Chain A
Amino acid sequence: MASLLEIHNLVIEGCHDGQWLPIVNGISLRLEKGQVLGLIGESGAGKSTLGLAAMAYTRLGCRISSGTIVFDGLPLLELDKEERRKIRGTRIAYVAQSAAASFNPAHRLITQYAETPVQHGIMDFHTAEKQAIDIYRRLLLPDPEHIGYRYPHQVSGGQLQRAMVAMAMACRPDIIVFDEPTTALDVTTQIEVLAAIKNITNQFNTAAIYITHDLAVVAQIADRIMVLRHGDLVEENDARRILAEPREEYTRQLLSVRSFKKDGNGAGGHAKIPFLKVEGVSASYTGRELVLEKIDIELHRGRTVALVGESGSGKSTLARVITGLLPPVEGRILFDGAELPPALSARQREHLRQMQMIYQMPDTALNPRHRVRKIIGRPLSFYFGVTAADREKRILELLEMIELPADYIGRYPGELSGGEKQRICIARALAADPHLIICDEVTSALDQLVAEEILKLLHRLQRELGVSYLFITHDLATVKAIADEIVVMLRGRIVEQGEKQAVLKSPENAYTERLLSSVPEMDPDWLDRLLETREAAA
């Protein structure tokens, strides 16, 4: 029997510097009806390009140079534009990573839902409206009768992502291509969307191509998994088989990701006086609504405190208060026992030096017009006033510390990879010889293997230099790897705080418990089991 979708020896090229270079080097795949195929790999693996090619579509600057794509007996590459248009949206649909960027903010959800079926003349608006409500219900959206009449900004991120899945389902397609649909979501929301996707593809027996960089996520949903790297197929097998017995070294690496654990407790331990103390801090952007309420945190030398919470919980705001960017409404910040002025402009240079920050997006955290020499060298001359020769020597030492070659000193950030840029950010922080480094989601924009290397580097630096980290993250795997203490935040309050082992083993707060159990595990039955336990509890 012929498969629903057969891609044979597909080569896709992208234009770079006027040259056509392969992005996908001759990959073949088959997808049966009702089957879910997971495509996994790090950025640049060609997974999105391959996913889009299933609809015979390529992004601007890419072209399909050879191979065949046969969908239900139709050779897609030989069809003309109009015939392809008829298939897209109705028989093959696409769900993008960022729902917020993909919806038109000026139209109601249900209008956008009905657009494709009405355009293709499959049903009138009224029928589409009724169907939408049914689909919304199946996707477990709250208040399915009315939610469609809201605008995209009136629903949460997870709900919007599900509304987009609903849109893709509008014409009952045979195949849906999911391109990282949960990557931008919090873990607790990710569960809801995953469950909804799994639910609805089962109910309609829809085949799907699920693209992600997270093996644990794809394990929950896929029947088969293809591991891609640099446009080549590394390994393909049944989901369970690939998790149980990976054949290739690269797959094994992906499987063992997040296995890094900090050995023992951080050095230093509890001195009498914590060197950073946040006392009863409340903060607000508007002057009325409080984003932070009565926060108390202590940080001891050489230790790592992880600040965990979903987006909007106030983690980053707390970092802004500590650094002085946002003076608090009440409360105070003590550094080495002395109170710090609330506003940045009133703080002494010496205090600023001891507190450095590393950001989530290394792309925007480095000035694209400065070379590495200036990026790392500026804190050296600014804080210590070193001579040019000494500065050069110290920059090279720092480069060595962050495991980058010495000739990177003359490069611009644009000439570095994401992980390398993050290393430069770390070096810039280290150049100030700080006591505290605030890490704001430093690994979440990076590929998992790269992120793990960064965590290892941070850990090594802590051991060697005795710096403390305030680690802001929504990723509990990171917390498990690197934290000594955990502070869990929810809507601007601290709901739980304590030693890592204690919080992880026996969370006292229901929210902490929920957060912890939402981290996907490398086990294909994990999601089903979790949903069962949660249902039983409810």
Chain B
Amino acid sequence: MAFLQLLRESPISARIGVAMILFNILASIFAPLVAPYGETEIVGDVWAPMSAANWLGTDQVGRDMLTRLLYGARNTIAIAFATTLLSFSVGIVFGFLAATLKGWVDQVLSRVVDIMMAFPTLVFALMVLSVVGTSIPTLILVIALLDSTRVYRLSRAVAMDIEVMEFVEAARLRGERIWWLMRHEILPNAMPPLVAEFGLRFCFVFLFIAALSFLGLGIQPPTADWGSMVRENAGAITFGIFVPLWPAAAIAFLTIGVNLVVDWFLHLASGLKDYE
């Protein structure tokens, strides 16, 4: 209810963003009901043009593009959301721990993160995935772990700034435990940059999955996901066929929607009331 109230006072850009995200979520929930064909059903020629039967044409093996997009929304959004949430939980907890405890805890954590970041992410992911195998849960775990290094860096830096404030010192003097300091004193004040980063990371995740899929270690065909759909159909561009632009447009659509909402959150969190 509070959210609805907030939404009523929100600027038009935020409402558009919310609508865009809602559209995506509804599409992913009701995909089996509204999709004209099955997810992996081959219904026509390779790269058939748009027609009454295939509104958006067909893909590289002749599956219906619209159907694939609707099913793809499920996988893409769910995986990206789970991954980002996980990477933020891990990154924030360790980042805040490093900033509040300092000393050797900070040193050890930061050096481990340095080592992880020194490897190219893709190579690291390939290495781990080829060892543990490519199921969706492992995919989520591995990408979240890799992404959490960046979240760690950010949340540690933000928390360091907040940690020196006197209200944190006051809480320490009161005798508060580390968990309270992190949860109640630091986290609320660190929200704005973290929320912004969340929006960005969320979008990067499905691009990263696409890159993995291209190398054969991402989401395994024939499961639909937007990133892989761009990759698989990329060759069509050279023939003047714009079919890969559909999943790309879907990615852009969701990204813009997420960022419009994130912008609004940031504005609320910064405490500025007016729009200039």
Contact = CB atoms under 8 A, between A and B. Distances in A.
B175 A359 contact: no
Contact of A17 (B167, B169, B274): B274
Interface in B158-199: 165-167, 169-170, 172-176, 184-185, 188-189
Nearest to B276: A18
A354 to B, nearest CB: 11
Contacts of B166: 359, 361, 364-365
Contacts of A432: 174
B137 interface: no
A12 B77 CA distance: 52
A431 to B, nearest CB: 10
Interface in A407-444: 414, 428, 432
A477 B187 CA distance: 40
Nearest to A347: B175
Contacts of B11: none
Interface string A123-135: 0000000000000
B38 to A, nearest CB: 49
A76 to B, nearest CB: 27
Interface in B225-276: 271, 273-276
Nearest to B185: A367
Contact of A414 (B170, B271, B276): B271
Interface in A346-387: 347, 349, 352-353, 355-357, 359, 361, 364-370, 378-379, 382-383
B206 to A, nearest CB: 32
A428 B170 contact: yes
Interface string A1-19: 0000000000000000110
Interface residues of A, number: 29
Given A18-B274, A369-B189, A414-B271, A325 B173 contact: yes
A382 B276 contact: no
A378 B189 contact: no
B189 A382 contact: no
Q: How large is the interface on B (under 10, 10 to 19, 20 to 34, 35 or more residues)?
A: 10 to 19
Contacts of A361: 166
A478 interface: no
A118 interface: no
Contacts of B169: 325
Interface of A is mostly: mixed
A461 interface: no
Contacts of A344: 172-173
A18 B175 CA distance: 43
A90 interface: no
Given A17-B274, A414-B271, A364 B167 contact: yes
A357 B273 contact: no
A414 B167 CA distance: 14
Contact of B174 (A359, A364, A366, A379): A379
A359 B165 CA distance: 11
A367 B189 CA distance: 8
A368 B189 contact: yes
A159 interface: no
A378 B166 CA distance: 16
Nearest to B172: A344
Nearest to B169: A325
A378 B274 contact: no
A347 B176 CA distance: 12
A282 interface: no
A307 B167 CA distance: 23
Interface string A255-278: 000000000000000000000000
A323 interface: yes
B175 A349 contact: yes
A357 B175 contact: no
A367 B174 contact: no
A227 B173 CA distance: 42
Which residue, A18, A325, A364, A369, has most C-beta atoms of chain B within 10 A? Answer: A369
A370 B166 CA distance: 14
Nearest to B188: A369
Nearest to A438: B173
A385 to B, nearest CB: 13
Nearest to B272: A17
A396 B188 CA distance: 25
A266 to B, nearest CB: 24
Leading 5 A-B pairs by shortest Cβ distance: A369-B188, A365-B166, A18-B274, A367-B167, A352-B175
Interface of B: 165-167, 169-170, 172-176, 184-185, 188-189, 271, 273-276
9 contacts: A323-B173, A325-B172, A347-B175, A355-B173, A359-B170, A367-B185, A368-B189, A369-B188, A370-B188
Given A352-B175, A365-B167, A368-B189, 17 more contacts: A17-B274, A18-B276, A324-B173, A325-B173, A344-B173, A347-B175, A356-B173, A357-B170, A364-B165, A364-B166, A364-B167, A366-B167, A367-B167, A367-B185, A370-B188, A382-B175, A414-B271
